[in-house]
Amino acid sequence: MSTYSLGEELTSIVLQDRAALALQDQVAQLFLDARDDVYRYLLSLGLYPPQAQEGAQEVFLRLYATLKKGEKIQNPRAWIFRVAHNLGLNIRARQNFQLNLSILLSEGEETNRDSISSGERTRNSPRFKISSIYICEL
């Protein structure tokens, strides 16, 4: 390997490192500027504080990953809030689904104790209800 090609490789590595540092600095500055606003927005969507905090961090991780791929974002603040909105709705839907599932499971246990026939026990069993929910969502 010649000294010239080694120098080219080192220059390439240094330029990549500088670009990565600039990207990290850009995302870090956006994080400092919008973190509290994103957190409050996620709270306004009905998320619990720990979920909102985790969601805000996830938004900025997605921002970094998107920018690292080389995608251009015209308005980063608008992009951040769009992603926060979609993520918040997904978290809330998952939260509601889990709540409904736990209610169904507890109702199923009470019904199973009171049921007489095996057919009723099967239809009222928690596994049957969970299977029905998943089938309906397909």
Q: What is the pLDDT of residues 52-86, one digit of tens each?
A: 999 999 999 999 999 989 899 999 999 999 999 99
CA distance 5 to 9: 6
Q: Record the pTM.
A: 0.62
- Structure tokens that stand for 4 in this block: 């010239």
Mean pLDDT, rounded, of the chain: 78
Could you tell me the residue ranges of all domains in the chain?
3-137
Structure confidence at residue 4 (pLDDT): 56
Q: Decide: 43 and 63 in contact? Cβ < 8 Å.
A: no
CA-nearest of 37, 75, 76 to 56 is 37
State yes or no: pLDDT of 116 exceeds 90. no
Structure confidence at residue 71 (pLDDT): 92
